[in-house]
A and B are shown apart, each in its own frame.
Chain A
Amino acid sequence: MLFHSPTFLIFFTLFLTGLALVRGSGRVLYVTVASYIFYAWWYPPYVVVLAGLTVFAHVLAHRRLESTPLFVAAMLAGLLPLAVFKYTGFILANLGAIGYPVAAPPKWALPLGISFISFTAIAYIADCRSGRVTAEKGLLTTALFFSFFPHLIAGPVVRAHEIMHQMTSVRFDRAAFRLGLLLFAIGAVKKVGVADQIAPLVESIYHATGPITWAQAVLAFYGFAVQIYCDFSGYTDMALALAIVIGVTLPPNFDRPYLATSLREFWRRWHMTLSRWLRDYLYVPLGGSRHGSTRMVAVILITMLLGGLWHGAAWTFVAWGLYHGLLLVIEHLAVRLAGRPIVVPRPVAVVLTFHLVAVGWVLFRAPSFGRAMEILSGLGAPVDFGALSGYAFVLTLMAAVFGLHRFDTIATIKTVAERLPAAVVVPLSVMLALICAALVADNPSAFIYFDF
């Protein structure tokens, strides 16, 4: 069930109706059951993975694991389902490629949200061990913390100190409905009205073979930068909106990342909850910047490499992570060598940072290094603005996203929702949802006629 599918809208309407009727502590059980139904909708057997990781984290959080080897073993065990489901095929394919006789890669599907669930489990166990949070006594509350359906599939990566205490007060928050509705509609516009509209063109260019024109390279380069932002941040907006209506405030995941003036700032604005996770549970434990420049360089590279691999089991993701790691290292070293912050005019820094990030997106999106190089070299092909004339819709969407980017924050949307009357917010949100439906209406495969 995707948040913008008709099935989910029916599910959520029924869910909210039920939530309004349930009283007291029964709400925790009700939302947990609904979350498990949501998760099981796609493939029921994988509910075992979600339940297993929940019980695993709940038990180990109470044990507090004083011994470091035991704690490391527990961390590795927590990552085992992710490793097995996500990386077995990748490892076997690479072993096969270098001549080892291995079995054919398994064809199992990746359990939904396994990357997010695993990271949540590890963070919870580690936070309980360090004393940052107290282990939740009730298994039911822990189960809701892990399975809470707004964050279950695509994050944000939640941490116990942020939302565990909110799990016991889930309710139908009527006062937050206006904000939730507007935020959900804006998220749907970003996901369905922008990202899904650009995706087919980007896909066709990245997966084509042969030489590439300047116009195609430009559309692929900027198009994917817009697509991935609107796809991910739009889905996150919808998740936050759903949670708000259930009385839960999830942590924000994006803060206008394409306005960043440096790579370090970009990672403080992009997928913020993952960045914090990598910082707190990988970068800092590995030594961070506490042991000199050489160690710091190594730690940054390892952190970003593993961060890249977390996004997908392919060498292009590893290269993307390393690329960002190298850029971060260069930034750190440049500041250290200069002995003071390097001052660059803000517009120049924003444009430069965006383009460095967009180069990384080519590695992230390309099916092979060869195609990535073709697209990047296509940017240097003879300029032909006329060839862009057939892409008015996609270019309009891209221009709108860049033009409105500085306003794209939860705080701004909250202010708008608070200041505008319901007579504006409700019809605006409903109409935006209808426009999204109209934009994604596909060709019907049936004979249709109109007579006026």
Chain B
Amino acid sequence: MSLNLRKLAATALVSAITLAATAVLGEVMLRIKNSDQRNYMIEMWRYSNELKRVAEDPALGHVHVPGAKARLQGVDFVINDLGMRGPPVGEKAADETRILMLGSSITLGWGVPEEETMRARVAAALPSWTVLNGGIGNYNTARSVRQFETAWRRSSKPDMVVLQYFLRDAEYIPPSEDNALMRHSQLAVTLWYIAARFFQGRSDVSGLEDHYHRAYQPDSRGYREMVAALDRLNAMAQEDGFRVVLAMIPDIHQLQNYPFTFVHRRMRDLAVARGWDFVDFMDVLGTYQGPELWAIPGDPHPNAVAHGMMGTLLAKRLSGDSR
């Protein structure tokens, strides 16, 4: 090895060691800082690390780990044997009526204590029914229906499925890649997110509006997969004899002069076309501005107040259906 090459290698080694040592310092600082569980991004990262695992079915991406527990964003999460948040569920009794709610992190009750989630509110209002929470973070409708189709259809045997639909459910979710650095380092995941936000461009409501208009183009991949999933769910409902309710969850960034009514209308039409009932939570949340219903500042998941209102409306509509 020539002298110059040796010098270059030594410089590279010293630089790498310096970078690594400083990164360790940064990691320690971030971990201490984020120990207060107020950093929504890191809490979501912990959710993925502590409550989820890679699914055997690549179409699902990830599933909950049965029996896993974690305290995230100041709220306790317990995953039952079916891989759902909530109390344990045994074999279905002959006279038992079950409602299964399918959806994403909103249905899961991100940022909301278990006893205040929509599931718990409906269960409290309809005590003779068993209500199950099939919400999983980073699920869209295609994934929710797939998870139901391959696992919960048989294990939970619902009499009614409430498909809780959020605007992002027509977005295509690309398969995620496992990255050891991102999985284990808060510094790496934070820097990745800063870079992603920098290159992502507008993140305000008008940026969202453009985004959703593109997502709901009939030829967009996510939209087509969502409609196909609705058709599969409908076929299963007819085969098994359960009812389906589509419950529409608004985006609570801006509830006044709400810019996404076109999505609500579209989903109502899709539900009605399949003979399903349609509940629009905008009916109870629409009098608010939006951010006052957020889980914490910066986290636009509905808080306990919003879950309470949505649960009350849903229970009212479901009990009407039962009569």
Contact = CB atoms under 8 A, between A and B. Distances in A.
A449 B44 contact: yes
B61 A439 contact: no
B18 A424 contact: yes
How many chain A residues sit at the interface, stated as a range, is 20 to 34
Contacts of B16: 427
Interface string A423-444: 1101110011011011101111
Contacts of B138: 449-451
Contacts of B36: 390, 393
Contacts of B255: none
Contact of B48 (A393, A424, A452): A452
B253 interface: yes
Contacts of A445: 203, 253, 298-300
B33 A439 contact: yes
A13 interface: no
B289 to A, nearest CB: 14
A448 interface: yes
Tell me if A's interface is mostly helix, strand, loop or mixed. Answer: helix
Given A441-B41, A443-B297, A444-B40, A421 B33 contact: no
Secondary structure class of chain B's binding surface, majority of residues? helix
A447 B11 contact: no
Nearest to A437: B194
B30 interface: yes
Contact of B39 (A6, A431, A443): A443
B203 A435 contact: no
Given A435-B29, A435-B187, A427 B15 contact: yes
Contacts of B49: 450, 452
Of A435, A437, A443, A449, most buried by chain B (CB within 10 Å of CB) is: A449
A392 interface: yes
A200 to B, nearest CB: 10
B130 to A, nearest CB: 28
- Of A421, A437, A441, chain B has the most CB atoms within 10 Å of the CB of A441
Interface of B: 10-12, 14-16, 18-19, 22-23, 25-26, 29-30, 32-33, 35-36, 39-41, 44-45, 47-49, 52, 54, 61-62, 105, 137-138, 168, 176, 178-179, 182-183, 186-187, 189-191, 193-194, 197-198, 203, 253, 296-301
Interface of A: 6, 193, 197, 390, 392-393, 396, 421, 423-424, 426-428, 431-432, 434-435, 437-439, 441-452
7 contacts: A392-B32, A428-B22, A438-B191, A447-B300, A448-B44, A450-B176, A452-B49
